[in-house]
A and B are shown apart, each in its own frame.
Chain A
Amino acid sequence: MSQAIDVLSWILLVTGGVASVVAGIGALRMPDLFSRMHAASILDTFAAAAVLSGLLLQAGLSIVAFKLFLVFVFLAFTTSTAAHALAKSALTYGQVPEGVDPKSIGATEEREYVEPASELADPREVPASKV
């Protein structure tokens, strides 16, 4: 019986690890921000659930198991909130999903995203006044 539980938890752990690598590859290679967020959500949901339930089976009935469950609950609440906030502010400041007409989501030109310029000066460059 305990052998079966061990095998099941190993399968879950390796599945979670592979899912996290898939999410990493997706975040690296997807074409735009919103499809990258889709890849990131694989890590937040599937990989987290698989790894944590694999550990849960190893922990048995103990306080550690309850803490692992708490970690999963925290992750489930926080990652979805963070993804919502990120998508909202990205949409507000000019990120348009690929294949979507900018007009249809109310993106206007004056709210276009401005990459922060050299306000924080390059520390390697010494200002002329200090030479």
Chain B
Amino acid sequence: MFAVTALLLLVSMALTLVRALRGPTMFDRILAMNMFGTATVLLISVVGFLNTARDLVDIAMIYALISFATTIAVLRFVEMDQARRSTEAES
């Protein structure tokens, strides 16, 4: 059953990657990246149980926090970039 769940999560991650590659705006890509991070957290936990290496849950825990920090950092970067562009357009 762990294998089935891992497979379904991998399918979902593939669909998410298609959105990230196709996404018309930067925000779609960030959204897809965020989803990919969440799916990765779940996948790491499931694979840990699949291989009876249950300590992998620790890594999933750290990954959840890191992927959150990444999303916020990229969003802040995009915001600053957009603000700079709009002031350049005014001047």
Say what secondary structure dominates the interface of chain B: helix
Residues of B within 8 A of A115 (CB): 25-26
**Cβ-defined partner of A20 (8 Å) among B30, B42, B64, B89:** B42
- Contact bitstring B1-15, A, C-beta under 8 A = 1, else 0: 110110111011111
Residues of B within 8 A of A21 (CB): 8, 11-12, 15
Determine the residue in chain A with the shortest Cβ distance to B32. A27
Flag if B85 contacts A36 (CB, 8 Å). no
Flag if A51 contacts B32 (CB, 8 Å). no
Known interface pairs A13-B5, A71-B64; A64-B71 also in contact (CB < 8 Å): no
Residues of A within 8 A of B12 (CB): 17, 20-21, 23-24, 43, 47
Q: In the complex, which range does the number of interface residues on chain B fall in? A: 35 or more
Flag if A86 contacts B1 (CB, 8 Å). no
Flag if A71 contacts B61 (CB, 8 Å). yes
Residues of B within 8 A of A89 (CB): 27, 75, 78-79, 82
Q: How many residues from A make CB contacts under 8 Å with B?
A: 53
Q: Which of A's residues lie within 8 Å of B, judged by CB?
A: 9-10, 13-14, 16-18, 20-21, 23-25, 27-28, 33, 36-37, 40, 43-44, 47-48, 51-52, 54-55, 58-59, 64, 67-68, 70-71, 74-75, 78-79, 81-83, 85-86, 89-90, 92-93, 95, 110-111, 113-116
Known interface pairs A27-B15, A47-B42, A64-B57; A86-B34 also in contact (CB < 8 Å): yes
Separation of A54 and B1 alpha carbons in the complex (Å): 10
